[in-house]
Amino acid sequence: MPDAEFSLCRLRVAGDGLRRRFLARGWLPDLVEDAVAEGEALDRGGFPEAYVDTDGLTVAEVARLIRRRLRLATGPDGHRASAVTAPPVPEEKLPLLWFTGATAVGKSTVGYQVFRHLYGTGTRTAYLDLRQIAALPAADRRLKAANLAAVWAGFRAAGARRLVVSGEADTGETIGRYTDALTDLTPTVCRLHASPETLRERVAERGRGGGPTIPGDAIKGLDPDGLRRVADRAAQEAAALDRTGTGDLRIDTDGRSAQQVADDVINRL
């Protein structure tokens, strides 16, 4: 964004505090020491502008500190983002693995597990959750598609050779509107399916705060009536996706852990 001026602000917390927060999420606890090591590396390397110690602070208190620190950090000596020009796209097409399925079926959890596996094999793989690239009220698919293409251009310029996307409860036609913007990728659409009973259980779990921590999660904290409405909608989405036969792969997730589902996807690939 050559016309944008931005400031960098790092949120930090000491190792023990980071461990407590990470483990309290109840998701991928095996990565806790990697997170602590990453934080320590950032401490050693320094950071160009502001940072905020978040230990013992509420989200609102951290937000106030950020606003105050960034007002001090910008000005005549502020940094301007330099334009990053991606190299010309080669003719070779790279693989795209796109996860779709009903609300709460496990797209983000399974998609990230598959990403971890692929990256661990040595293939430079990028991961993206579609909901997190258009956190703008009433954002339409055109904006998301444009953002997706821009983010992938940056990933590819940095050497990514594969992209994994956790999408939404979309039909093949809608997914095509996104993948049409990624002309240098060959998509494989993987649809995760679950029964209405399983979806109700997973919606209830999300409501209690289970699963990955996703900014802007509209399910977390809903009252019972709200959770029931979400579960009913999820069941309708799953039935509609089954009717249209969306996806190159259909993976049934009933009675299976996220890791088992991810292993099934990997084996089928």
CATH of domain 94-268: 3.40.50.300
Per-residue pLDDT of the chain (269 residues; tens, 9 = 90+): 566 666 677 788 877 888 888 887 777 788 888 888 888 887 777 655 556 788 888 887 788 777 766 654 444 444 433 333 444 444 578 999 999 999 999 999 999 999 999 999 998 999 999 988 887 777 788 888 999 999 999 999 999 999 999 998 888 888 988 888 898 999 999 999 999 999 999 999 988 887 777 777 788 889 999 999 999 999 999 999 999 999 999 999 999 999 999 999 999 98
> Residue 56 in contact with residue 12, Cβ under 8 Å?
no
* Kind plus residue range of the DSSP H or E element containing 186: strand 185-193
Cβ proximity of 53 and 12 under 8 Å: yes
- Residue 83 to residues 1, 3, 55, 116, 154, Cα–Cα distance (Å): 6, 9, 35, 30, 11
Q: Where are the alpha helices (DSSP H) in 58-193?
A: 59-73, 107-120, 141-157, 172-179
Q: Dihedral through CA 222, CA 223, CA 225, CA 228, nearest 10? A: 50
Rounded to the nearest 10°, the torsion over CA 74, 75, 78, 83 is: 100
- Please state the domain extents for the chain: 9-73, 94-268
pTM (two decimals): 0.70
